[in-house]
Homo-oligomer: A and B are copies of this chain.
Amino acid sequence: MREMFPLVQLTADVVILTVREERLEVLLVRRGKPPFEGMLAIPGGYMEPGENLWQTAVRELREETALDGMVQHLELVGIYTDPGRDPRGQIASGAWVAMVPDPPVAKAGGDAAATQWLPIEEALEGPLAFDHKRILQDAVEKARRMLDQSTSAIAFCQEEFTISELRRVYETVWGVKLDPGNFHRKVTRIEGFVERTGGATTRDGGRPAGLYRAGARKWLPSSIPRPEVSA
């Protein structure tokens, strides 16, 4: 019997986000070959034999960022399957969003020269390859929405972090200001959210701040209140 249904190849695209200097930034790559040669795109790659698509996403994330074991927050955004979305043929893409710590170690090898961090607003100004603008929009919305109900904000921080560094993640991603005192109480009271390491640091200036690491919890029992964006 002849095959009636399309055969497609699968790719995983990974929207890699970080928080730097009070800005939400995304890692993009400049394409070195057609199609869309010279344009910015979300890093991604084909699913290889023996892999599932999540493993492809993990592999891509590692190739781009040199993050070793610590793939914590890699969340599915959607699946993009419009016919004609890729001029090379029938290519369907699963999109993930990853949240990585501040000084995001740009990978040394490969086409690292072609990768760059861009603030979200800038990235969304110009055109992107394929349907990647839409994917980026969806990914950012997903990330924003996840912050208040999961512990994913921690993924933006170093392994050891202070409460105010965590607060700045929320402030940056949501574009709001949060009360430092109230935030401190809220976060430290939710069991399993953050754990004291015992250490302290003055890297943020002022009085030494306690250091924390991620707790065991993935989903918050009560959500972190997200203020309305005024004006």
Q: Which residues of A contact B (CB under 8 A)?
A: 4-10, 46-54, 76, 78-83, 92, 94, 149, 223
Contacts and interface: CB of A to CB of B under 8 A. Distances in A.
Contacts of A7: 7-9
Contact of A47 (B5, B49, B78): B5
A196 to B, nearest CB: 26
A83 B8 contact: no
Residues of A contacting B: mostly: loop
A7 B6 CA distance: 10
A88 to B, nearest CB: 11
How many chain copies does the complex carry? 2
B81 A79 contact: no
A79 B50 contact: no
Contact of A81 (B4, B46, B47, B83): B47
Contacts of A53: 79, 81, 92
Contacts of A83: 49-52
Contacts of A5: 9, 46-49
A79 B93 CA distance: 10
Given A7-B7, A81-B94, 7 more contacts: A5-B48, A6-B9, A6-B10, A8-B10, A10-B92, A53-B81, A54-B81
Contact of A8 (B9, B54, B76): B9
18 contacts: A4-B49, A5-B46, A6-B9, A6-B49, A7-B9, A8-B8, A8-B10, A10-B92, A47-B81, A49-B83, A51-B83, A52-B80, A52-B83, A53-B81, A54-B81, A76-B76, A79-B79, A92-B92
